[in-house]
Structure 1
Amino acid sequence: PPLRLPLRPLPFQSRGQASGIVRVRPLPRLTPLTASSDDMAEVAEEEEEEIVVRDKDTGKSIECYVDENMVLDGQEYVLAYPCDRPVVIARVDGEGEEEELVPVEEDDIGEVFEQAYRACALCDTELIDSAVVLTLQGDIEDEEGEEDLLDVMSEAEDDEEFVKVLTSFSDADGAEFLVTEPIEPVIIIAKPATGAKPAKGKKKRDLYELLSSKELDSVMPSVESILEERYADE
Structure 2
Amino acid sequence: MDADRKYAVASLLFDYVKSPSLRHLRDPHSVHRLARDIVTALDRASSVWKKWEPDREEIAKAAAPCWIPLEDLQTFLNTLPGPSLTKTDVEQRLRAIWEEPHANYPKDELMEGCRALYHAEKAEGTEMRAIVGALQEHLEREEERLRREQQEQYQRWKEEERVKLEQRYLSGADCGWTQVEKSEALYCRRNGRAFRIVQGKDKRWTMYRVKEIDDEGELFGIYQSRSDANMAPKKIAYAPEPHR
- Fold-level match, TM-score > 0.5? no
Question: What is the TM-score with the length of structure 1 in the denominator?
Answer: 0.19
Higher helix content, 1 or 2 = 2
Higher RCO (CA-CA < 8 Å; seq separation 6+): 1
Higher strand content, 1 or 2 = 1
Structure 1 or 2, whichever has the larger Rg, is 2
